[in-house]
Amino acid sequence: MSQHRQTRIQRRNSEAILEAALEVFSQQGFRGATLDQIAEVAGLSKPNLLYYFPSKEAIHVAVLSRLLDVWLDPLRAMNPDGEPVAEILGYVRRKLELSRDFPRESRLFANEILQGAPRMRAVIEGELRPLVMDKAAVLTRWMDEGRIARLHPVHLIFSIWALTQHYADFDVQVRAVLEGEDPYPAAAGYLEVLFRKLLAV
């Protein structure tokens, strides 16, 4: 029917596989995950997985590439024509919501970078770097216009990533220290204060 002739069954099963793979890969890492586990979570048999994807590696790559777009959307959404502090705080808030609502995605991404990004280096250099450079230029312009404090723009972006992703990636540690208390309400308030002070001219 459509240009990429994909049946209902294909769409449903591919989706189930990618969802299950995200669950298992983000918990166990690439090497720690087994096709049997993914098949079990997806409710399919192992050979059936390999009917839809040629290999374990292909599943991993598919999950990662689907992930990256969602992951970069908040940065893309930072509007060069908006009010600087509001735009940056909005970016921080959206990124923190991503950590809260999609911790598996965050951990899978962290895992991949930790291992040296063997399957993503090309994408990082080809897509992430230009985007960061573009947004860094916007930040620099805002600094030149005196609308936010002068800071290293790229490290400013790094600090947003670090502070927000920490709550997803180190969730176990955070909750252990906080004795299980939900960290997100306090984190949202803390980060807003932090960036307001940091950006004030």
Q: Which residues bind DNA (CB under 7 A)?
A: 7-10, 13, 33-36, 44-48, 50-51, 54-57
Shortest Cβ 133–its own copies spacing (Å): 8
**Of the candidates 92, 100, 99, which has an alpha carbon nearest to the alpha carbon of residue 193?**
92
Shortest CB 68 distance to DNA, Å: 22
The correct pick among 4, 5, 8, 31 for binding its own copies (CB under 8 A) is 31
Whichever of 58 and 133 has its CB closer to its own copies, that residue is 133
Contacts of 119 (CB under 8 A, 6+ apart): 57, 60, 61, 64, 112
**Nearest to its own copies of 12, 129 (CB atom):** 129
Residue 158 binds its own copies (CB under 8 A): yes
Instruction: CB nearer to DNA: give 1 or 200.
Output: 1
**Measured between alpha carbons, how far is 186 from 71 in angstroms, rounded to an integer?**
23
In angstroms, the CA 18 to CA 38 distance is 9
Whether 84 and 3 have beta carbons less than 8 Å apart is answered as no
Q: Is 41 in the site for its own copies (CB under 8 A)?
A: no
Q: How much of the chain is helix, strand and coil, in % rounded to 5? A: 75, 0, 25
Q: How far apart, in whole angstroms, are the C-alpha atoms of residue 199 and residue 122?
A: 33
Residues in the interface with its own copies (CB under 8 A) total 54
Q: Which residue has the tokens 């049997």?
A: 36
Residues at the contact surface with its own copies, assessed by CB under 8 A: 27-32, 107, 110-111, 113-117, 121, 124-125, 128-129, 132-133, 149, 151-152, 154-156, 158-159, 161-163, 165-167, 169-170, 172-174, 176-179, 183, 186-187, 189-190, 193-194, 197-198, 200
